[in-house]
């Protein structure tokens, strides 16, 4: 990581200013290369890696998210340093999931084996060219070179290779490539969830941000908004955007292969509950990601102030008065902040944990509305989600507690959703303001 060997760039026949050329784009210290897709020093790279891996959320020391990040003062504001990392193009996805605590290096890839023969627990054999870096399992039948018995090493879990790819005379077990065998396996459920959530963020950016197109495209950031994107909520425009949110939720559901296997009524039940639960959960996580607890940020980038002394987002509108807004939504907001947002911050819930929680809430909360035919499908999905969540919670003494704390968030989400429905029944009954008709249909049904 610290080796410096950057080929000089010739600009117009002259070497580019070398001092500036090798600067870290975050703090202007000496860059050690490209880290997570951006030119930076090793310190900023390590900082970025830790921040992403641990799912940290920071607050700006000055409160304005405008701190200058320079070499001598780069540790003064972690929020602005991290924002700068993202700004210069560091990619969160390039940070790989944290390894399990008990995992021991397996030295099981081709180059690892070549360089570390004495630690090798498996050996290289020739496989069909279609399989990259294939490795054989240590086996009594194996004719390959002997392997070390070092106690430091644990063999990796084998996966059965397609028999057609190997000699028919030898039963061969293929070891998954390093990224799967050694790093925590990324279950397809979790992968799907993360990809889908990133897509939702990208769609929200495109729909609701006023930015140059270049920074809208590319699902590289799990948070749809930056501080500069958000503005005080206008209830009227939020109401106009409700169908867009419902559409995004519908797309999220359709990404599940299991969704198409459900009957029509079950599909509608699931969509109805997802509209409700996502409406509760999504703004909580966006709020946490933006890190300013005085602003509760909705999925269209509008925010309401959570401080009694600030009226942002609460002002009178033609269609709904300040008084009505406060009466209906302040208690809901208060509940959300204390029972969902604050616990999320306290445990520093990661993006991966959040997407698993959201799926858990969606499927668990709908179970009671699903037909007998649909139940096994739902149960199967729920099991997969639980496994994924359990996988991504970091190993250690507190794994069980952390897993438990995440699951405990289900209850306040269900509670708030129930309050949300009750409040909107009142809104509708007393004609306090006109809700979107599609949303009303979802809310009218029993919850």
Partner DNA sequence: CCTCAAGGTCAAT
Partner DNA sequence: ATTGACCTTGAGG
37 binds DNA (CB under 7 A): yes
201 burial level (CB within 10 Å; 0-12, 13-18, 19+) = buried
Angstrom CA distances, 219 to 190, 200, 256, 288, stand at 16, 9, 19, 19
Regarding 47 and contact with DNA (CB under 7 A), the answer is yes
E strands of 312-422, at which residues? Answer: none
Q: Which stretch binds DNA (CB under 7 A): 42-50, 206-214, 264-272, 381-389?
A: 42-50
* Cβ at position 262, least distance to DNA in Å: 37
Indicate whether 61 belongs to the interface with DNA (CB under 7 A).
no
What distances in angstroms separate CA 218 from CA 166, 195, 250, one per listed residue?
Answer: 40, 12, 21
End-to-end CA distance of the chain: 54
Q: Does 96 bind DNA (CB under 7 A)?
A: yes
110 is a site residue for DNA (CB under 7 A): yes
Residue 389 is a binding residue for DNA (CB under 7 A): no
Residue whose C-alpha is closest to residue 51's, from 343, 362, 350: 350
229-249 in b/e burial notation, b at 16+ Cβ within 10 A?
Answer: bbbebebeebbebbeebbebb
For residue 174, CA distances in Å to 121, 130, 169, 307 come to: 13, 13, 15, 58
Interatomic CA distance for residues 411 and 18, integer angstroms: 57
Task: Map the footprint of DNA across residues 125-164, applying CB under 7 A.
Answer: 132-133
The binder of DNA chosen from 35, 92, 204, 325 (CB under 7 A) = 35
Q: For residue 294, how many other CB atoms are within 10 A of its CB?
A: 13
Choices 93-101, 215-223, 238-246, 283-291; region in contact with DNA by CB under 7 A: 93-101
Stretch in the footprint of DNA (CB under 7 A) among 3-11, 59-67, 239-247, 292-300: 3-11
**CA–CA distance, 171 with 164 (Å, rounded to integer):** 11
Query: Where in 73-92 is the site for DNA (CB under 7 A)?
Result: 74-75, 78
Give me the torsion for CA of 402, 179, 33, 38, rounded to 10°.
-60
Q: Which of 80, 85, 86, 106 binds DNA (CB under 7 A)?
A: 106
Residue 101 vs 408, nearer CB to DNA = 101
CB of 97 to DNA, least distance (A): 7
Considering only the stretches 52-60, 188-196, 260-268, 282-290, report the one whose residues sit in contact with DNA under the rule CB under 7 A: 52-60
Which CB atom, from 78 or from 325, has the smaller least distance to DNA? 78
Restricting to residues 162-181, which ones interact with DNA according to CB under 7 A?
177-179
Judged by CB under 7 A, which of 22, 23, 24, 36 binds DNA? 36
Q: Strand 231-232 to strand 302-305: parallel, antiparallel, or no bridges (unpaired)? A: parallel
Minimum distance from residue 162 beta carbon to DNA (Å): 19
Residue 73 or 319: which CB sits closer to DNA? 73
d(CA 112, CA 157): 17
Q: Which is nearer to DNA, 159 or 228 (CB)?
A: 159
With CA atoms as reference, report the closest residue to 85 among 23, 37, 20, 53.
37
Query: Min. distance of Cβ 417 from DNA in angstroms?
Result: 33
- Verify binding: residue 50, DNA, rule CB under 7 A: yes
Q: Which helix (H) or strand (E) holds 429?
A: helix 410-429
Complex with DNA: residue 38 or 443, whichever CB lies closer: 38
> Looking at 59, 99, 390, 428, which residue binds DNA (CB under 7 A)?
99
**What part of residues 5-24 is at the interface with DNA (CB under 7 A)?**
5-7
Q: State the DSSP H helix or E strand holding residue 232, giving kind and residue range, or none if neither.
A: strand 231-232
Residues within the interface to DNA (CB under 7 A): 1-3, 5-7, 33-37, 41-47, 49-51, 53-54, 56, 74-75, 78, 94-96, 98-99, 105-113, 115-116, 119, 132-133, 177-179, 182
């Amino acid at each position: 990581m610290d080796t410096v060997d950057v080929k000089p760039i010739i600009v117009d026949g002259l070497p580019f200013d070398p001092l500036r050329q090798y600067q870290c784009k975050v703090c202007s210290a000496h860059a050690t290369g490209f880290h997570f897709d951006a030119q930076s020093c090793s310190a900023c790279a390590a900082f970025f890696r830790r921040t992403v891996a641990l799912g940290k959320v920071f607050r700006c020391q000055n409160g304005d998210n405008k701190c200058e990040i320079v070499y001598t003062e780069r540790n003064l504001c972690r929020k602005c340093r991290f924002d700068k990392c993202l700004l210069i193009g560091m990619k969160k996805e390039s940070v790989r999931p944290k390894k399990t605590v008990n995992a021991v290096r397996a030295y099981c890839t081709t180059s690892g084996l070549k360089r570390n023969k004495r630690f090798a627990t498996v050996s290289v054999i020739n496989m069909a060219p279609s399989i990259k870096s294939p490795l054989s399992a240590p086996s009594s039948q194996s004719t390959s070179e002997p392997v070390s018995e070092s106690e430091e090493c644990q063999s990796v879990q084998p996966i059965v290779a397609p028999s057609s790819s190997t000699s028919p005379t030898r039963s061969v077990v293929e070891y998954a490539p390093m990224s799967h065998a050694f790093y925590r396996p990324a279950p397809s459920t979790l992968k799907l969830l993360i990809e889908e959530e990133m897509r939702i963020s990208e769609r929200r950016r495109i729909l609701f941000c006023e930015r140059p197109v270049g920074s809208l495209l590319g699902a590289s950031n799990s948070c749809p908004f930056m501080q500069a994107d958000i503005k005080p909520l206008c209830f009227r425009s939020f109401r106009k955007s409700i169908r867009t949110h419902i559409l995004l939720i519908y797309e999220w559901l359709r990404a599940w292969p299991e969704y198409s296997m459900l009957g029509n009524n079950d599909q509608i039940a699931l969509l109805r509950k997802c509209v409700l639960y996502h409406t509760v959960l999504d703004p909580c996580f966006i709020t946490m990601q933006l890190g300013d607890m005085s602003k509760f940020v909705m999925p269209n980038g509008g925010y309401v102030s959570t401080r009694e002394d600030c009226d942002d987002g609460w002002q009178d509108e033609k269609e709904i008065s300040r008084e009505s807004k406060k009466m209906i939504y302040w208690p809901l907001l208060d509940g959300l902040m204390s029972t969902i947002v604050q616990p999320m911050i306290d445990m520093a819930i990661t993006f991966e944990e959040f997407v698993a929680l959201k799926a858990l809430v969606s499927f668990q909360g709908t179970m009671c509305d699903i037909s007998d035919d649909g139940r096994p499908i739902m149960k199967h999905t729920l099991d997969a989600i639980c496994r994924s969540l359990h996988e991504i919670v970091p190993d250690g003494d507190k794994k069980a507690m952390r897993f438990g704390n995440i699951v405990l968030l289900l209850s306040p989400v269900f509670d708030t959703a129930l309050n949300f429905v009750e409040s909107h029944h009142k809104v509708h009954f007393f004609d306090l303001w006109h809700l979107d008709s599609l949303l009303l249909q979802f809310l009218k049904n029993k919850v």
